Amino acid sequence: MAHLWEVATTVQVTLKMPRVTSRASVVHPEKFYVYALFKPASYNPFYIGKGRGQRINAHFHPANLSKNTPKTAIINKYGNLIKREILCYFDEESKAYEFEEHLISYYGLASEGGCLVNYAKTRFQYSDKFVEDVCLKGRLNREYKYSKEVVFSVYDKYFKDKLEIYEVASATGISENYIYYLLTGKKHKYLFKEYVSSNPQVDTEYLGRLSRVIRKRPESQKIKDAVLIEAFYKVCDTGCTVQSVADEIGVNSGWLSSVFVGKDRAYLALDYERYRNIRKGRASSKVNNLDIVRSLLKDGKTVMEIKEITGFGRTTVFRYVREISNGENA
């Protein structure tokens, strides 16, 4: 297979013969591709991009044409006379990025004497015009709220030091919500891509840890330590179930249990053994619990009424009812 740069010769032939079409046909929508946009009667592109699916045609959607950029100004001026060409398909996104950056370098940015109105020289390096037109006008002030050094320190603490989100927040002074956005790529996405590309050893590990971040309910990250301590003693001292207390403070019962046994917020130093012993004691009284639920069912009580009377979690009541039903049908 020819090296990527050797393909450039073939691509330049393609660029000299663009087709006039109102919509580009994406033959392999599942693959990544590099594409070019041409003004009418021009052999040189005014925009080079990398995409997947219908990315090449998305530039012409009315919602995108309302943006005030050099690219949309050209598209608004010429409309369907703009020529759209997919130049090359790739199985790997990194190869598509590599080829896109090569073509941008070859044709050059208009702000630097070339013919392209692209803002970015590469996915990580912005042109001076981009900084002047976008960043300095405040459009990205919210997006780039923190410096690269600060953002990378967040990634290091999470991916390398294995700190939890609330611990990273405490160490950096950044809110837990904002750190969540950093780790999911919703903020500083280009810095995130740069970090992952320069730290390949955390790439696969990131996917696993990120899935846990996404699954973790945001409410649990906002709960104050004092609330969790109070919840712990409510379960241990008053006999309330973890489910009922979790419902009361608005968190997942599984996550609350992980706090009580020291798997999360370990710095609270709760009496883990006491909680474990209480769980064991409640497990040994399961037979009595079944008898209580069976008696309430005979009295015509509903599941929700049994939940209120016993303090059991709804899931627990359903499980007891199911076991009682299965036992009677056996």
Amino acid 89: pLDDT? 94
Amino acid 158: pLDDT? 84
What is the rounded distance in angstroms from the CA atom of residue 139 to the CA atom of residue 170?
A: 28
Amino acid 273: pLDDT? 77
What is the rounded distance in angstroms from the CA atom of residue 64 to the CA atom of residue 79?
A: 13
Task: Extract the tokens encoding 2.
Answer: 């020819």
Amino acid 141: pLDDT? 44
Name beta bridge partners: 129. Answer: none
Amino acid 221: pLDDT? 58
CB 123 within 8 A of CB 190: yes
What is the rounded distance in angstroms from the CA atom of residue 264 to the CA atom of residue 166?
A: 10
CB 46 within 8 A of CB 37: yes
Amino acid 313: pLDDT? 75
Amino acid 320: pLDDT? 80
Amino acid 34: pLDDT? 94
Low-confidence ranges of the chain (pLDDT < 50): 1-21, 135-136, 138-143, 214-218, 330
Neighbour tally for 6: CB within 10 Å: 9
Amino acid 134: pLDDT? 53
Amino acid 65: pLDDT? 84
Amino acid 142: pLDDT? 45
Amino acid 283: pLDDT? 54
